[in-house]
């Protein structure tokens, strides 16, 4: 390779790595594997060194992605560097030789701990109180996401016992495998793109603007490093982990101290087998020189410490053949294509099926029946098709095309603008019926005790019900012949169904199973419209005026009540005696009628929800982003980029006192 070819290859690699970094850190949708990324970075570093092509802005000299514009930016007192990665024993032995070459005859040990595949987080405690939480960002500056991190139950708001004057904690936010599966199932039902893995679901969740939504995400946290101001720090990494534990911060159970690199390798092999049994995803092991005193002597490269390295486990993959592409129908009618695979062993289990997510994903990877494909377990639990091995083979069938009609009920499929999912809108579609009834009877909806999945399966199989409205026509004598029912159980179930008629209007609206309508939206619809009839007869513009309702929700609610079968079910529920009336939201005045507010920062005495409620009670409305249509910005401490945008657009900016003056009599 000559200098011209090297320069062209360097530019090509930099572009690839920059795009991969944006997809990984900012968009939470990676398009290459960690190993492919590391190989590209290694090749780039070798070319830059060999042909003297280094530049200060090269990806080889930077960490992660840049901070976002959605949150205030904070400087890290100590850089949050990444770790060099190795994938084999030989490279780990090279790391040990480099350490021995610098430290010579000095006595040292290695700490070994599991490496979490999540999002790196920095916490700052002052006098024991959590005052700041931030992302790693580019390693030197990150996003201030304190309010979001305070919703994570693993992160204490106050440290235990005698806390140092200032404690800087490093750790990893992550999501357990089962929680990740449930979140993706929910996203697919809502027509949203599923996350690629638990790491990306965690990173995406932490960047959400509403802390209440972050609180609903099943995010966990482990701490793994500590620095102290104002007091002597522990001398070794293991002592730091012990101190973190005493202070009330969670620490992973899997850590050890090893006297040499051979002992490290022994633990790595043990944990490589162990990882498949853990409830969370781990992508490797972190090896550090245990004694802090040697960190300065060993030093740093441009982007990583020389006293630590990450040993990455190989992702488990297998090759098999797609025998067919079938279609699944979800609770809300989402049509999910599924690869029917020739059975193959992967990560300790036999894989026969893999979700293909949606039609767009199939076309992006050009997947067709008969293809030989590589499959991998995302999050060690969900099989997914990575790529096609033989896209140029002879005799490939035509590209996959979604059928026009539902495979279960033959109703015409629809696809809403801006969504990737096709849907069946027939509420009597057989695969949807059971799931809709289970949802209707669930604790947050009509709360019908004793009506679980097993009972619903029997009721539908015996032809006793076709929709949830049919529940209110059941008789005890119809239930007695069912398996494990009996007279007493049958009577109890009938009584539970009868008691559900007293549930308030917002629960009735939630129980209908309208796409995108969760508990919060249902409460807001009930408060704003006051009755089912008002909701049924409202239009898109009426819905969009409700605080928590955006265009997608408004379109979904309007579409639900345009379907005759849905309106017929509602009438059945009315005849059964359910609560179709509620109380409209109390209004204090119309002083803010038609005015749109955006909230930012931390207000002195009001929470964001309390401020929103006051705005609504005086006739105003809150929105999430500043635009030329915004009338006021209500700003507190640490307002962020919304403040600057409001200033630029000339939008009036109110303090809490000015806001209270505006609404008081």
What is the C-alpha to C-alpha distance for residues 532 and 587, in angstroms, rounded to an integer?
A: 20
Q: How many Cβ atoms from other residues are within 10 Å of residue 590's Cβ?
A: 10
Q: Which domain holds residue 366?
A: 317-393
Residue among 639, 640, 636, 641 nearest 657 (CA): 636
405 SS3 class: strand
Domain count of the fold of the chain: 5
pLDDT at position 308: 95
Of residues 254 and 215, more confidence is placed in: 254
We report the CATH number of the domain holding residue 377 as: 2.40.50.140
Q: What H or E segment, with its residue span, contains residue 12?
A: helix 3-21
Of residues 606 and 548, more confidence is placed in: 606
On the question of pLDDT at 232 being above 90, the answer is no
Question: In this structure, is residue 399 part of a structural domain?
Answer: no
175 and 43 in a common domain: no
pLDDT at position 204: 83
We report the CATH number of the domain holding residue 536 as: 1.10.150.20
What is the C-alpha to C-alpha distance for residues 548 and 201, in angstroms, rounded to an integer?
A: 23
pLDDT at position 472: 96
On the question of pLDDT at 51 being above 90, the answer is no
> Over the stretch 80-112, which tens digit does the pLDDT of each residue have?
888 888 888 999 999 999 999 999 989 999 999
Mean pLDDT of the residues in the chain: 86
Q: Which of 19, 34, 61 is the last residue of a domain?
A: 61
How much is the pTM?
0.52
At residue 221, what are phi and psi to the nearest 5 degrees?
Answer: -150, 140
Question: In this structure, is residue 655 part of a structural domain?
Answer: yes
Q: How confident is the model at residue 68 (pLDDT cuts 50, 70, 90)?
A: low
Give the position of tokens 């000015």. 658
pLDDT at position 71: 83
In this prediction, residues 137-149 reach a mean pLDDT of: 89
327 and 281 in a common domain: no
pLDDT at position 173: 94
In this prediction, residues 401-415 reach a mean pLDDT of: 91
Sign of CA dihedral 545, 548, 552, 558: negative
pLDDT at position 132: 94
Beta strands 119-126 and 129-135 are antiparallel
37 and 18 in a common domain: yes
We report the CATH number of the domain holding residue 37 as: 1.10.287.610
In this prediction, residues 167-192 reach a mean pLDDT of: 82
> Over the stretch 367-376, which tens digit does the pLDDT of each residue have?
999 999 988 8
Which residues share a beta bridge with 75? 141
- Residues with catalytic annotation? 115
Give yes or no for a contact between 150 and 602, defined as CB atoms under 8 angstroms apart: no
Question: In this structure, is residue 591 part of a structural domain?
Answer: no
Our separate counts of H helices and E strands in the chain read 24, 22
pLDDT at position 381: 58
pLDDT at position 587: 56
| Range of lowest pLDDT (250-259, 518-527, 549-558, 622-631) | 622-631
Residue among 364, 391, 418, 312 nearest 91 (CA): 312
On the question of pLDDT at 154 being above 70, the answer is yes
Question: In this structure, is residue 67 part of a structural domain?
Answer: no
Which residues share a beta bridge with 600? 635
Structure tokens at 526: 């009930």
77 and 53 in a common domain: no
260 and 238 in a common domain: yes
245 and 152 in a common domain: yes
We report the CATH number of the domain holding residue 127 as: 3.30.470.30
Give yes or no for a contact between 120 and 80, defined as CB atoms under 8 angstroms apart: yes
CA-based Rg of the chain, rounded to a whole angstrom? 29
Question: In this structure, is residue 57 part of a structural domain?
Answer: yes
186 and 50 in a common domain: no
Question: In this structure, is residue 583 part of a structural domain?
Answer: no
441 and 564 in a common domain: yes
Q: How confident is the model at residue 545 (pLDDT cuts 50, 70, 90)?
A: confident
We report the CATH number of the domain holding residue 648 as: 3.40.50.10190
Q: Which of 576, 607, 626 is the last residue of a domain?
A: 576
496 and 601 in a common domain: no
What is the C-alpha to C-alpha distance for residues 166 and 77, in angstroms, rounded to an integer?
A: 12
Question: In this structure, is residue 340 part of a structural domain?
Answer: yes
Residue among 562, 558, 564 nearest 546 (CA): 558
Question: In this structure, is residue 527 part of a structural domain?
Answer: yes
196 and 107 in a common domain: yes
> Over the stretch 438-487, which tens digit does the pLDDT of each residue have?
999 998 899 999 998 889 989 988 999 988 999 999 999 999 999 888 89
What is the C-alpha to C-alpha distance for residues 176 and 279, in angstroms, rounded to an integer?
A: 6
């Amino acid at each position: 390779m000559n200098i011209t070819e090297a320069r062209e290859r360097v530019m090509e690699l930099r572009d690839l790595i920059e795009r991969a970094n944006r997809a990984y850190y900012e968009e939470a949708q990676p398009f290459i594997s960690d190993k492919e990324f590391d190989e590209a970075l290694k090749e780039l570093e070798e070319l830059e060194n060999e042909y003297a092509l280094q530049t200060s802005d090269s990806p080889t000299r930077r960490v992660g992605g840049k901070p976002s514009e959605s949150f205030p930016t904070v400087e890290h007192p100590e850089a949050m560097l990444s770790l060099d990665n190795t994938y084999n024993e030989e490279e780990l032995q090279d790391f040990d030789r480099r350490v021995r070459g610098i430290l010579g005859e000095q006595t040292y040990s290695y700490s070994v701990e599991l490496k979490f595949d999540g999002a790196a987080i920095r916490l700052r405690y002052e006098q024991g109180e959590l005052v700041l939480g931030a992302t790693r960002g580019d390693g030197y500056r990150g996003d201030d996401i304190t309010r979001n991190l305070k919703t994570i139950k693993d992160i204490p708001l106050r440290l235990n016992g005698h806390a140092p004057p200032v404690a800087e904690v490093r750790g990893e936010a992550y999501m357990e495998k089962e929680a990740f599966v449930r979140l993706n199932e929910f996203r697919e039902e809502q027509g949203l793109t599923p996350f690629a893995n638990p790491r990306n679901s965690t990173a995406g969740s932490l960047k959400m603007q509403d802390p209440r939504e972050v609180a609903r995400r099943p995010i966990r946290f482990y701490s793994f490093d500590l620095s102290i101001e104002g007091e002597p720090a522990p001398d070794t990494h293991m002592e730091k982990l012990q101190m973190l534990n005493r202070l009330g911060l969670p620490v992973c159970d899997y850590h050890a101290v090893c006297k040499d690199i051979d002992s490290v390798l022994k633990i790595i092999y043990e944990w490589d087998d162990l990882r498949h049994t853990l409830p969370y995803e781990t992508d490797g092991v972190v090896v550090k020189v245990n004694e802090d005193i040697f960190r300065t002597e060993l030093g740093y490269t441009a982007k990583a410490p020389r006293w630590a390295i990450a040993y990455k486990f190989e992702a488990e993959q297998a090759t098999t053949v797609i025998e067919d592409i079938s279609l699944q129908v979800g609770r809300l009618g989402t049509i999910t294509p599924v690869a029917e695979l020739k059975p193959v062993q992967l990560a300790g289990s036999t894989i026969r099926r893999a979700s293909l997510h949606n039609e767009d994903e199939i076309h992006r990877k050009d997947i067709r029946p008969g293809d030989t494909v590589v499959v991998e377990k995302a999050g060690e639990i969900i099989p997914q098709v990575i790529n096609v091995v033989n896209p140029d083979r002879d005799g490939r069938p035509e590209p996959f095309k979604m059928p026009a009609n539902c495979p279960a009920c033959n109703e015409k499929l629809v696809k809403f603008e801006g969504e990737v999912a096709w849907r069946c809108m027939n509420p009597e579609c057989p695969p949807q019926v059971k799931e809709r009834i289970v949802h209707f009877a669930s604790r947050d909806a009509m709360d019908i005790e004793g009506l679980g999945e097993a009972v619903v399966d029997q009721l539908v199989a015996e032809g006793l019900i076709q929709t949830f409205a049919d529940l209110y026509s059941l008789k005890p004598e119809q239930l007695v012949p069912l398996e494990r029912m009996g007279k007493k159980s049958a009577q109890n179930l009938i009584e539970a169904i009868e008691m559900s008629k007293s549930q308030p209007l917002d629960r009735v609206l939630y129980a209908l199973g309208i796409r995108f309508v969760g508990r919060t939206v249902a409460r807001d619809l009930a408060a704003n419209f006051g009755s089912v009839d008002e909701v049924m007869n409202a239009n898109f513009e009426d819905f969009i005026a409700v605080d928590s309702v955006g265009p997608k929700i408004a379109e979904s609610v309007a579409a639900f009540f345009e379907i005759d079968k849905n309106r017929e079910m509602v009438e059945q529920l009315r005849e059964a005696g359910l609560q179709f009336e509620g109380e409209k939201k109390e209004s204090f005045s119309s002083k803010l009628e038609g005015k749109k507010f955006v909230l930012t920062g931390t207000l002195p005495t009001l929470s964001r929800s309390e401020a929103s409620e006051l705005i609504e009670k005086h006739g105003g409305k809150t929105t999430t982003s500043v635009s030329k249509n915004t009338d006021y910005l209500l700003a507190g401490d640490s307002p962020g980029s919304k403040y600057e945008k409001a200033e630029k657009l000339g939008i009036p900016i109110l303090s809490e006192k000015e806001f209270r003056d505006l609404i008081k009599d």
